[in-house]
Structure formats: structure tokens, C-alpha cells
Amino acid sequence: MTSPVSLRVSADKSTGVAVLTLDRPGKLNAIDLALAAELVAAWRELRFDDSVRAVVLTGAGERAFCTGLDRGVEVPQPGSPYMVDDPLETVGPKANDLWKPVIAAVQGMACGGAFYLLGEAEFVVADSTATFFDPHTTYGMVSAYESIYMAQRMPFGEVARMALMGTAERMSAQRAYEIGLVSELTVAGGALAAAEEAAAVIASYPTEAVQGTVRAVWAAREATRAQALAHAPHLVSLGNLPGERQAGLFAGRRRDFRVR
């Protein structure tokens, strides 16, 4: 498997584990259109690689797992509230029909569009530096897709608070562990190793049983998720401020925040 420019892919055939690393540390691993395309290609390639039986997804550098959509990306939109082009809609494994287990290893910031990826992982391992927040409302954007994905993983009140508090507040790794968003909390720098260890254990089990279990677990939540996501494009189209007003809010963004 070749390694693209913005996404490093390495596979260990002895363990059956592949590690996908978002590799734009200078941009806090924000997803531009090239990286979005690379993620789609990687997930779809992994569907056909029988030597890979479990996947770990992480981000390069110490500052961020992923900070969502790169603000430099321009995505032209149809002039109708019934049609929205979402560049992150297919960046996750399940959106690409990959039913091999995926574990997210998080250190540093995970925010906004990162939730598309966390929302389609089987579980999340994080180190003590991890923080989670959703900046959408601060910058005049509707948190639709992100909140829907997080509603599958967090109590309602926690999802609502994260989405509505915007950039003023970040959820600590400890709090994320307490509410179940994070399944394992490690020391700083330890998330990737812990995720790889768990992935190797899972990859050692019979493939048919593992993938059948993944599919069964997701079957329990897919109907709710699909119904909710069907509303997201209209909510985004109706509720987002025009791009120039978003840019103005972003330019004047606050630098202080509370960690809870």
C-alpha cells in the first residue's frame, strides 16, 4: 500500500494491524480536500486487503489528533436548502463500507470535523493531553453532523453542552473517559501504543467473528443515525451564516477557554 502525501499508511502483516496517520501536523491535521480523498481511498483499499484485520487511526504531532475541516477549503454550495455538499461526508470507515474494527488513538485536540472520524471508530483511546470541543456555533455554523455522531457516543446533556459552548470550553480527556467517549485513558504519549495493542488482540481472533460482531454492534445504532443524518443537510443550509460572516467571527476568535 503506497503512502499518500497527507495520510501515512503502515501495515504490520505479523499482527494484522494497519495504522493510518493524518499527517498534516503543521495544520493540526485539519482535513483538506486532498486528505479527504486520501482517506476515502485508504478505507476502500483496506476493504480488499485481507492481511489487515484491524485498523488504528491517529494524528501526527503532539498538538492535535484532528481539528476538522481545513478553513482554507472552499466548497461551493448549491443554492438550495435541500442540497448541501459536505466534504467530510465520506471520510470515515463506515461511510466507505469498511466493517473491520477501527480504533482511534487521540492525543491533543480533537474538534469539529474530527467527530466524523471518531464517530465511525469502534472505540477511542486517548492520552491525558487529549481535549474535545466543537467550535461550530462560535463561528456561526450549525453543529449538525458532528452533534449527531457524538450523540451516538455521549450522554445527551454532554453533547448539547459541547456543541453549544463552542470554543469557550474544552472537555478534558478525564471527563471524556468518565462519560464513555473514551474507553481507555493513558499517560501522555501512550494512546497510540495502547490502541495498537488492543488492535493486535482483536486482529488475532477469527476474522469472520470479529467483522460479524462489528456489523451487529453497528446494526443496533444505524437506523437512528441514518434518520438523524437525513436532517443534517437542511439544518446546515438554513442555519449557517454566510462565509464572510463566519470568516469575520473566526478572525476575532477568543484565545481563552475553560477545560472541564
Task: Transcribe 89-122 into DSSP letters.
Answer: TT-STGGGT--S-EEEEE-SEEETTHHHHHTTSS
Q: CATH topology for 7-190+203-207?
A: 2-enoyl-CoA Hydratase; Chain A, domain 1 (3.90.226)
Domain ranges across the chain: 7-190+203-207
What's 67's DSSP letter? -
Structure-block grid coordinates of residue 185: 485513558
Rounded Cα distance between 113 and 120, Å, is: 12
Closest Cα to residue 103, out of 200, 242, 246, 28? 200
Angstrom distances, CA of residue 183 to CA of 137, 151, 238: 27, 16, 35
Angstrom distances, CA of residue 246 to CA of 87, 111, 185, 243: 17, 17, 35, 5
Q: State if pTM tops 0.75.
A: yes
| Tens of pLDDT, residue by residue, the chain (260 residues) | 554 579 999 999 999 999 999 999 999 999 999 999 999 999 999 999 999 999 999 999 999 999 999 988 888 778 877 777 888 999 999 999 999 999 999 999 999 999 999 999 999 999 999 999 999 999 998 999 999 999 999 999 999 999 999 999 999 999 999 999 999 999 999 999 999 999 999 999 999 999 999 999 998 877 776 777 777 676 777 777 787 888 787 777 777 788 88
